[in-house]
Amino acid sequence: MKIQVENVSPVERKVSIEVDPDRVAQELERAYVGLGRRVKLRGFRPGKAPRKVLERQFRAEVESEVLEKIVQQTFSEAVKVESIPLVAPPHVSVSEGVSDGKPVRYTARVEVKPRIEPKDYRGLDVTRKPPEVTDPMVSDELTRLQESMAQLVPAEGRFEAQEGDWAVVDHEGTIEGKPFEGGKAEGVTVKVAPGAISEGNLEALKGKKLGETVELDEPFAADHRVEELRGKVAHMKVTLKALKTRQLPALDDALAKEVGIEGIETLDALRARIRADLEKREKRRAETEVKDALVKAALQKNEFEVPPALVERAIDAMLEGAAERFARSGIDIRQLELDFARMRADMREQALLQVRGALLLEAIADAEKIEVTDEDLQAEAARIAEELGAPLAKVQQQMRGKDAREALKNRVREDKALALLSSSANFQSA
């Protein structure tokens, strides 16, 4: 087998491969022998049909399968022989296909990791904001918790809607005088506040009394999720049936107990728990910000191209993460009719930064000959178990797979490279 590798760019290579005629002939013979054992032809026992008979009926199919097999095998061999750091499947172009007595010739263009010789990554100038938890932060968090536990209760002693009320209504809508799907409903709760009906707001109810009906026109957006309604104007009749107000629970020990955190029985204990959680969150925020700042500072001193396939893969991972977060909330992201092309475009810059950072940290780890030991992996598993509040044995079990172990190893190696940058950086407080 002959292999020729050309550097098309720092992130792309062209691999030209010529496969010996003898190898092609052997693969063809092996394919026809296997085919003869599988197929049934009139007048021949299984495995006894002459190759010429098989060729007349199955030549195109066999040669296609053999070509695919030869390309897969020989390209994998070429990658190992030439140590090609590919990051995506190749784009193959065949110049000479399978034929007895002739070589197979093809070219494969493939994206590769760029060769990076990192420089000036020691002594980086970085600004950092130390973690800080203040009393107002604790109070704000407690207020958010209080608001999340608020309940809607009937408005007492009045029958007229005020701004900020929650109204229970029946509504009926038409477009050009005709009913439309979703236009009629009973017992719907909306807020008496500025904004669109589609967002659950209906300011027109302000000042209306129970039993009164208000009529209004509501335009649908040009990109409304229901195609039949896009750009249309609905005439709505809305009848006020009941009024409710939002009632906050008192900030007391009863609320602390209702939160349902084990061991939390008093408001003071809840405040202490909130402060502890905020301290952990702020510490993680500060650590993440420092890491990002270190990577960005190092990237400013190291320019290199990035394989497009890695960027697309990073975007895929971001979308998968978003889908998982929606799923945990009981929402199927596929039913939201999102503009995924636009989402991918919005994520591209962040994905590019993520990929460039990972490649540079890998190059720094290589330059510094950073290694990851079994003790490092065990320590990281213990840290993850503590952070998640999960049994160590369960985390270790999840890390036993080859892919999971390799991912953990890469993350630990990246963290070690970041620690090296941090140890020599010049920090200034924000």
Give the pLDDT confidence of 383-400 residue by residue, as tens digits. 888 888 888 888 888 888
pLDDT, greater one: 430 or 194: 194
- Predicted pLDDT at 338: 75
- Predicted pLDDT at 228: 79
Share of the chain above pLDDT 70, in %: 98
Q: In the CATH scheme, what is the code of domain 151-247?
A: 3.10.50.40
Asked whether residue 343 carries a pLDDT value surpassing 80, the answer given is yes
- Predicted pLDDT at 160: 93
Mean pLDDT across the stretch 2-20?
96
Mean pLDDT across the stretch 322-338?
77
Average pLDDT in the chain: 90
Question: Which residue has tokens 């993520």?
Answer: 354
**Res. 214 pLDDT band, cuts 50 70 90:** very high
State pLDDT tens for residues 120-149.
999 999 999 989 999 999 999 999 999 999
Mean pLDDT across the stretch 401-419?
91
**Res. 51 pLDDT band, cuts 50 70 90:** confident
State pLDDT tens for residues 64-114.
999 999 999 999 999 999 999 999 999 999 998 898 889 999 999 999 999
User: What letters, b where the CB count within 10 A reaches 16 and e where it falls short, cover 323-339?
Assistant: eeebeeeeeebeeeeee
What H or E segment, with its residue span, contains residue 219? Answer: strand 213-219
What H or E segment, with its residue span, contains residue 7? Answer: strand 2-9
Close Cβ partners of 306 (under 8 Å, ≥ 6 residues apart): 11, 114, 352, 355, 356, 359
- Predicted pLDDT at 48: 74
Q: Is 223 left (phi over 0), alpha (psi -120 to 50) or beta?
A: alpha
Asked whether residue 421 carries a pLDDT value surpassing 80, the answer given is yes
The least confident of 186-200, 214-228, 352-366 is 214-228
Would you call 33 helix, strand, or coil by DSSP? helix
Question: Which residue has tokens 């709505």?
Answer: 236
d(C-alpha 22, C-alpha 100), whole Å: 9
d(C-alpha 46, C-alpha 127), whole Å: 77
d(C-alpha 330, C-alpha 349), whole Å: 29
Residue ranges, CATH 3.10.50.40, the chain: 151-247
Residue ranges, CATH 1.10.3120, the chain: 258-429
What's the chain's Rg over C-alpha atoms? Answer: 33
Asked whether residue 58 carries a pLDDT value surpassing 90, the answer given is no
State pLDDT tens for residues 260-273.
888 899 999 999 99
Q: In the CATH scheme, what is the code of domain 258-429?
A: 1.10.3120
CATH architecture of 2-111: 2-Layer Sandwich (3.30)
What H or E segment, with its residue span, contains residue 253? Answer: helix 253-259
**Res. 43 pLDDT band, cuts 50 70 90:** low
- Predicted pLDDT at 325: 83
Residue ranges, CATH 3.30.70.1050, the chain: 2-111
